[in-house]
Amino acid sequence: MSRNPIVPYILIFALGIGLIFFMSLYGLDQKKEIAGQGEDAVTEEAESSAEFDAEAVAQGKCIGCHGGDLSGGMGPGLVGTSLSKEEIKDTIKNGKNAMPPQGITDDAELDAMADYILSLK
């Protein structure tokens, strides 16, 4: 007697559907816990925005184009730049040529970024 080769696939499919169903029920029970984690994340984000680290932002956003030591790569070098503080702030905020806006709109953060870039020698 020959076995039907599709039976194992049907069993795996049924097991997968059942697993998805039970996992979704488990997730419904944790709705309040998940919502509570979001409030903690907002609080942590608010605390971290008070401690703006221009060097960390530069290492996270700038090194992709300006090189690991910010001396140049695909984008121009930032070390010893001839741009003024206002030009740097405007470029970070609004973008220029191939550089897109960086999403930093707070004046204090823009000042910190410009000061950091101007401090590079």
23 is in an annotated binding site: no
Q: How do residues 25-82 score in pLDDT, each as one tens digit?
A: 777 667 777 677 765 555 555 555 567 787 888 888 888 888 888 887 788 888 888 8
Domain, as residue range, for 111: 52-119
* C-beta of residue 35 within 8 angstroms of C-beta of residue 41: no
Give the count of domains, the chain: 2
Q: Are residues 33 and 73 in the same domain?
A: no
Q: Model pTM greater than 0.75? A: no
Q: Are residues 58 and 115 in the same domain?
A: yes
Distance in angstroms (rounded) separating the CA atoms of residues 77 and 68 = 10
Q: Tell me, what CATH number does 102's domain have?
A: 1.10.760.10
Residue 90 covered by a domain:
yes
Q: Are residues 60 and 97 in the same domain?
A: yes
74 is in an annotated binding site: no
Q: CB atoms < 10 A from the CB of 70, how many? A: 21
113 is in an annotated binding site: no
Q: How do residues 2-37 score in pLDDT, each as one tens digit?
A: 788 899 999 999 999 999 988 887 776 677 776 777
